[in-house]
Amino acid sequence: MQIAERLMSLSLIRTVLLTAFSFCLAARSLSTSVHLQAQAKSKKTLAKSGVKNVVLVDGVRTPFLLSGTTYADLMPHDLARAALQGLLKRTGLPKDAVDYIVYGTVIQEVKTSNVAREAALGAGFSDKTPAHTVTMACISSNQAMTTAVGLIAAGQCDAVVAGGVEFMSDVPIRHSRKMRKTMLSLNKAKTLGARLSLQNCEKIAIALLVFFIIVVETIFHTLFLLIQLADCCLNFKCGDVIVTGRDIVSKDNGIRPATMEQMAKLKPAFIKPHGTVTAANSSFLTDGASAVLIMSEEKALAMGYKPKAYLRDFVYVSQDPKDQLLLGPTYATPKVLEKSGLTLNDIDVFEFHEAFAGQIMANLKAMESDWFGQTYMGRKTKVGAPPMEKFNTWGGSLSLGHPFAATGCRLVTTVAHRLQKEGGQYGLVAACAAGGQGHAMVIEAYPQ
């Protein structure tokens, strides 16, 4: 779209935004009144003597979009930056109050090896705030958050921003090693003669193509940044979701209500024609980013924040990736409960990452099986499965989408919000990850 045309449409968009904004305010006051009615059960706290209390101050995410849709022309750090800016706006945090930034990502963009730093600078954080990127498949932002917890508990930092971004609209397309070698040597040859002697027609054509793509991409990206600047003033927040991008995006777009009959007609997604996994029971390829502000309780209170939750015990587990690939939650759940001195019955809110419906079913089945507990986990009896009425009640990765490295922060923020709304005391996050790994964390409601 032309800039002039865009500017003309700004006033219209502004009107729409103002309407949406007042709607949000109304919705918020509604939800506040629900909060007040909810009564927290008074149970023991999980505070440990000699260990700092670490709190979740707040969390945000961008809308989760099907990859290849409205975010398709962004860069991953643009999306991450939008989440960080959303967090800054939501919390009113002074940008230089942050000691450290940790961000997760799984599929790395080829030119961005440390997306945390790129996004942090773009979002306007102080250039004196260090930032690093972590990766651990679908639990990458869990890893970012627990890194933050560790830095704070060890007394090294007071305020850390953690998050994750996944951008499946532009995955690096890999060539064979032979092709890569050819491209590189073509690039290194000094003279035209040397270049010509290196190549045949095909190689030159590929080099030209690569050059063309790089030039076009650079021009497009620069233009796009300009357009984005014009849009900066339009970014605003609504509920858990922040708005970003060239077009105004305020809603997830992957949610597909469907009847059982419609779902039964779907063709297998991976193994044709006999596979059983379809689009209805797999999480879809998603673009999205999330961010949370984690602080020591003292610092948060000193800065005048009302934290949402305490981040308590957490565990990482790993199993044989061949037979037990996505069973992380089955192993991690009893381990973290034991660490916290809690049982399954003490947990009011469960948020499990859903990679596939089949993966969740397999975990629930394993958790309900004495045989599995005895044979694989060295237990006397089964783990026990979470009751469904407490489980992923605000939607999960299957319906909302699963931007790999952004999901962990969504789970933790959702637990904190559900504890507030439902008046529960403890929540449990669990997630599986490629490579046979898994994670779980106990979250405690902050006294209202």
Ligand X SMILES: *[C@@H]1O[C@H](CO)[C@@H](O)[C@H](O)[C@H]1NC(C)=O
Q: Is residue 157 among the annotated active site residues?
A: no
Q: What are phi and psi of 28, to 5 degrees?
A: -65, -45
Residue with tokens 């308590």: 312
Q: What's the closest the beta carbon of residue 271 comes to ligand X, in angstroms?
A: 11
Work out the widest C-alpha separation in the chain, in whole angstroms: 81
Sign of CA dihedral 188, 194, 195, 201: negative
Kindly tell me which of 50 and 257 has the beta carbon lying closer to ligand X. Answer: 257
From the candidates 77, 353, 402, 439, which is the catalytic residue?
402
Q: Is residue 221 among the annotated active site residues?
A: no
Q: What's the closest the beta carbon of residue 281 comes to ligand X, in angstroms?
A: 4
From the candidates 138, 157, 238, 409, which is the catalytic residue?
138
Tokens of 430: 């669990």
Kindly tell me which of 170 and 354 has the beta carbon lying closer to ligand X. Answer: 354
Cβ count near 344 (within 10 Å):
17
Q: Is residue 201 among the annotated active site residues?
A: no
**CA 275 to CA 271: how far, in whole Å?**
5
Specify whether the CB–CB gap between 49 and 278 falls below 8 A.
no
Kindly tell me which of 232 and 271 has the beta carbon lying closer to ligand X. Answer: 271
157 Cα distance to chain centroid: 23
Q: What's the closest the beta carbon of residue 366 comes to ligand X, in angstroms?
A: 15
Q: What's the closest the beta carbon of residue 264 comes to ligand X, in angstroms?
A: 5
Residue with tokens 């898994």: 438
Residue with tokens 């689009």: 279
Q: What's the closest the beta carbon of residue 430 comes to ligand X, in angstroms?
A: 19
Cβ count near 185 (within 10 Å):
14
Tokens of 101: 């930034």
Specify whether the CB–CB gap between 148 and 160 falls below 8 A.
yes
From the candidates 77, 157, 432, 439, which is the catalytic residue?
432
Q: What's the closest the beta carbon of residue 270 comes to ligand X, in angstroms?
A: 10
Chain length of the chain: 448
Instruction: Report the interface residues with ligand X, using CB under 6 A.
Output: 263-264, 266, 276-278, 280-281, 357-358
CA nearest neighbour of 446 among 260, 305, 346:
305
Query: CA of 122: how far to CAs of 38, 71, 344, in Å?
Result: 39, 17, 42
Specify whether the CB–CB gap between 118 and 131 falls below 8 A.
no
Tokens of 446: 């902050």
Specify whether the CB–CB gap between 206 and 195 falls below 8 A.
no
Q: What's the closest the beta carbon of residue 398 comes to ligand X, in angstroms?
A: 10
Residue 325, CB-side half-sphere exposure with 13 Å CA sphere: 9
Which residues are known catalytic residues?
A: 138, 402, 432
